[in-house]
Chains A and B, each alone.
Chain A
Amino acid sequence: MPLNHRTAMNAISYNLRWVRRYRKGLLALVILVPLASGASYICGVQWTSLWKGMAESGALVRLMTPEWDAFAEMLKPAMESVLIALVGTLLGTVLSILFAFTAASNIAPKWLRNSVRFVLGLERALPEIVILLFLVAAFGLGPFAGVLSLTIGCIGMLGKLIADAIEELDPVSLESIEAIGATKIQLLVFGVIQQIMPSIISFALFRFELSIRLSIVLGAVGAGGIGLEMYRAFFLLDYPRATTALVVILAMVFVTERLSEFLRKKIKAEGALK
């Protein structure tokens, strides 16, 4: 009898061996499917509205033939967006180096390091749009508020990245400069900045890519530039014009991304050689 029982159990477990094999995937499915369907019910995600929207967006696509006459008008705001991103990133990078010095444990005392890191963390937690909304209240609409909010966002991100790069420096190379009798500023310039310059540049390029994309979104909220142009066109239901703006934006983002990737690869290769 026990023998038969065991044989039966073996047969079942043999037939269900796929359960054992895929048990991790099955577990995920069992948890995620009810979770997703429950969440979509609460948020009002429905298949029917998807079909309806798709049918309408078909009409939208038909409307969205770019209006090439508006192309020339788009160039100036596009340039403005690029400049907002550029100034914001440059200013942010320079300031973030200063913040990084105070946020690196091998340069700054512990209390300063921890408090600066805390502030940088808070800054990162705030999306640039939120920062912009506050700044618009203080400085009014326009590119200046956009530049400032990008600068602040840049400090939060690059400040941490550069501080981490400083903390990874070989302590002996810093000590050897200290042992010569150099001043603190000389130590920072020759020992620290000199050594992490490739990292700083590649971080800044990466951030520039991000800033370009952000400057478009910020433009719509009040910083001006191509984002505002597109937002306005959508608002007036001038879809061809909005499409022209979209094409310009895509070109802008694509070109900056390629360029920054090219430069970063170049820096990396050179860093490997040196």
Chain B
Amino acid sequence: MIEVRNISKSLPGGRKLLDRISFTVKKGEFVGILGASGAGKTLTLRCLNGLLKPDSGSVLVRDAEGKTQDVCSVGKRKLRQLRQKIGVVFQGYHLIRRLTSLDNVLVGRLGQINTLRSLFYGFTEKETEEAMQALEKVKMTHLSSIHVGRLSGGEMQRVAIARAIFQSPGLLLADEPLSNLDPSNAKVIMKLIQPLAQQMPVIGVFHQPEMTARYCTRVIAIKEGKIIYDGDPALSHGQLADIYGEELRQIEQPLSSIVVPGAPLAPQPPDSYERNFL
């Protein structure tokens, strides 16, 4: 379980980036955070694992001993311990390109093993086997010895998820995991993330309301640093217009061209246009 209490963040000039954001996510929930660009989605997510310190408020998670800890105020050492139990899938390609898929998955436990051992790649056989199992869950075992730089975007994101699975976290954060992916790959990634919610709370930042409606159990919408919606993932057109404002058209444009049957792929030139050139 993770509890976010009134986190706020503002720029030195006084502009509020986050304004008293509060929510609680329990095990079994797959929460999608939606919002227009610059609304504060990614900022919120970065506060959850301490990559960013909010000006006020607290983020409460359970540590290994079952005690409740505040991510925002713990010391460096404790923060590292807490982060070991928080899996993160970032947007884009954040893996180490010169390592193989398997090694990249093994990196997920760096924080949990002795530093000296990790420097010599001293991963035990048991750990390697578990990493292979994680790769199997995302159906990437056949590419385990391939250098990550050679994989496609979808495959890289699958390795990233395997890394998060191998880390065996108590909370999973996903920062726009679908950006740079085509719709079919995006669906594959969502289908991989969805079942993880049964074991841990999953919080993801998404840009595709149709995806969150399909796979998430709950949607939180952020606008100008404030939560304006928290509830059922199925959003009406009016609610989407509220959330995205001007941006809604850009989101809907590609959708409508898929949804409307028999719609032309590109606008046809008028007759006169053709005649002039013939």
Contact = CB atoms under 8 A, between A and B. Distances in A.
Contacts of A197: 98
B206 interface: no
Interface in B135-149: 147, 149
Nearest to B86: A179
A178 interface: yes
A108 B265 CA distance: 51
A176 B90 contact: yes
A4 B43 CA distance: 76
B151 to A, nearest CB: 11
A175 B90 contact: yes
Interface in B70-122: 79-86, 88, 90-92, 94-99, 107-112, 115, 118-119
A182 interface: yes
Given A194-B96, A195-B96, A175 B110 contact: no
A190 B84 contact: no
B119 A186 contact: yes
Contact of A179 (B49, B91, B112): B49
Nearest to A172: B94
Interface residues of B, number: 33
A194 B98 contact: yes
A186 B117 CA distance: 10
B160 to A, nearest CB: 8
Contacts of B83: 178-181
B51 interface: yes
A236 interface: no
A56 interface: no
Contacts of B111: 180-183, 186
Contact of A274 (B85, B98, B109): B98
B150 A186 contact: no
Nearest to A198: B98
B82 A180 contact: no
B96 A186 contact: no
Nearest to A173: B94
B167 interface: yes
A274 B98 CA distance: 6
B119 A172 contact: no
B115 A186 contact: yes
A88 interface: no
B112 A181 contact: yes
Contacts of B81: 181
Interface in B166-218: 167
A180 B50 CA distance: 11
A274 B80 CA distance: 31
Interface of A: 170, 172-173, 175-183, 185-186, 189-191, 194-195, 197-198, 273-274
29 contacts: A172-B92, A172-B94, A175-B94, A176-B88, A177-B107, A178-B51, A180-B84, A181-B79, A181-B83, A181-B85, A181-B110, A181-B112, A182-B80, A183-B80, A186-B110, A186-B115, A189-B118, A189-B119, A190-B96, A190-B107, A190-B110, A194-B96, A195-B98, A197-B98, A198-B98, A273-B147, A273-B150, A274-B97, A274-B150
